Structure 1
Amino acid sequence: MCVHSINDDIPSHEILAQKTAWYMLQRIRSCFGIENYNELEGVVEADEAFYGGLNKNRHKRKKIPQSQGRACVDKTPVLGLVQREGKLTAVVTKDTSVKSLQPIIKKYIKPQTVLITDDWKGYRNMPEYNHCVIKNYAKQKIYDNTIHTNNIEGAWKIMKNILRDMYNSVSRKYLQIYVDEFVFRYNTREMKCGVRFNYLLLNSNIRTKYKDLIYV
């Protein structure tokens, strides 16, 4: 029995090299940033997501000490800001310290906005916002059902599912490009496929050089 490859009927000169295909895909992904980095106002929820394998799922020899909680030894944090009835902005950060989180918040969220976060120390001391802090859910009864971060937490769940199911692995170096792709999907989720595709094409006037991608 003769077994044929899926590419048997394609002329060899029309088959792209892996390097070329990767470059084309990354150039396309670079265009998705048109829907990220939005200026937000009204009521905004903020939270971080961490991309990377769970330490408890690793083999004993591959476990990394001091990597629990918000530690960024083996995981990459992404700060998400979502406006109620509005858009999502998500930025990869070095860590979850005040110096990393607050400049991003102040850059993309207008003053006097209602900002809802948990009680992580990276969000403390921001008098320019109407800051609502959610403390430990298990110990505090929250009577105001509008004070929550359900929207951003829901967005993170979708993003992690996409990164896990669609891609085998995403390196820290290129994570922001994939986050931009997710933000584009999230912010245009109510558009029909044809309208979304045309919107991307009309705003894809971005020049990306190969050296810009490999030296991110």
Structure 2
Amino acid sequence: MPIVKANIAKEAMVMTDDSGVYLKAGDNFHAHGVVNHSAEEYVAGIAHTNTIEGSFSIFKRGMKGVYQHCGEQHLHRYLADFDFRYTHRERTGFNDAARADQAIRGIVGKRLTYRRPDIDG
């Protein structure tokens, strides 16, 4: 729970399955939707876990196949990249050109800098 609380806004509705590790999740967030997977329930009202399961599956395949290693200090960057690509996929109405336009709009006012190498030492 400490990791979940540190990375999810308190105003969020958290959707989980019925695993015991999530029982108190609702105590920390605006709402907690639960689906009872053990009873073969996959949707309960607006609660479901299909979106996150699909997104996480793509992330895991990418990390094992393409990237293979990610230091903890950069994990948030990898997650943001996968989140952007998943959120802006064709199923959500974005083609390659629209996705590129959105990415370019997102870099306005940002600058990536690196430390200069210490060539004297």
TM-score by length of 2: 0.68
Task: Identify the residue that residue 210 of structure 1 maps to in structure 2.
Answer: 114
- Residue identity opposite 1:123 in structure 2: A
Task: Identify the residue that residue 30 of structure 2 maps to in structure 1.
Answer: 128
- Residue identity opposite 2:16 in structure 1: T
- Residue identity opposite 1:210 in structure 2: Y
2:34 aligned counterpart, secondary structure: strand
User: Relative to structure 1, is the Cα distance of residues 133 and 202 closer, same or farther in structure 2, using a 3 angstrom cutoff?
Assistant: closer
Task: Identify the residue that residue 119 of structure 2 maps to in structure 1.
Answer: none
* Larger radius of gyration between Structure 1 and Structure 2: 1
User: Relative to structure 1, is the Cα distance of residues 208 and 133 closer, same or farther in structure 2, using a 3 angstrom cutoff?
Assistant: same
Please report how far the alpha carbon of residue 179 of structure 1 lies from its aligned counterpart in structure 2 after TM superposition.
Answer: 1.0
User: Relative to structure 1, is the Cα distance of residues 117 and 202 closer, same or farther in structure 2, using a 3 angstrom cutoff?
Assistant: same
Deviating above 4 A after TM superposition, structure 1's stretches of 4 or more consecutive aligned residues are 143-147
* Residues 35 and 48 in structure 2, CA contact (< 8 A), matched pair in contact too: yes
Unaligned 5+ segments in structure 1 are 1-96, 212-216
Task: Identify the residue that residue 118 of structure 2 maps to in structure 1.
Answer: none
- Residue identity opposite 1:177 in structure 2: R
User: Relative to structure 1, is the Cα distance of residues 163 and 144 closer, same or farther in structure 2, using a 3 angstrom cutoff?
Assistant: closer
Which whole-Å deviations, capped at 9, do the CAs of 1:14-71 have from their partners, x for residues lacking one? Answer: xxxxxxxxxxxxxxxxxxxxxxxxxxxxxxxxxxxxxxxxxxxxxxxxxxxxxxxxxx
2:100 to 194, 197, 210: 197
Distance in 2 (CA, whole Å) between partners of 1:149 and 1:196 is 25
Task: Identify the residue that residue 75 of structure 2 maps to in structure 1.
Answer: 175
Please report how far the alpha carbon of residue 127 of structure 1 lies from its aligned counterpart in structure 2 after TM superposition.
Answer: 7.0
1:197 aligned counterpart, secondary structure: helix
In the TM superposition, what are the counterparts of 1:34-49 in structure 2 within 5 Å?
none
Please report how far the alpha carbon of residue 104 of structure 1 lies from its aligned counterpart in structure 2 after TM superposition.
Answer: 3.5
State, as a whole percentage, how many aligned pairs show the same letter.
25
Unaligned 5+ segments in structure 2 are 116-121
- Residue identity opposite 1:132 in structure 2: G
Q: Bigger relative contact order, structure 1 or 2, given CA contacts below 8 A and separation 6+?
A: 1
Please report how far the alpha carbon of residue 172 of structure 1 lies from its aligned counterpart in structure 2 after TM superposition.
Answer: 1.6
Q: What RMSD over aligned residues (CA atoms) do the two structures have, in Å?
A: 2.7
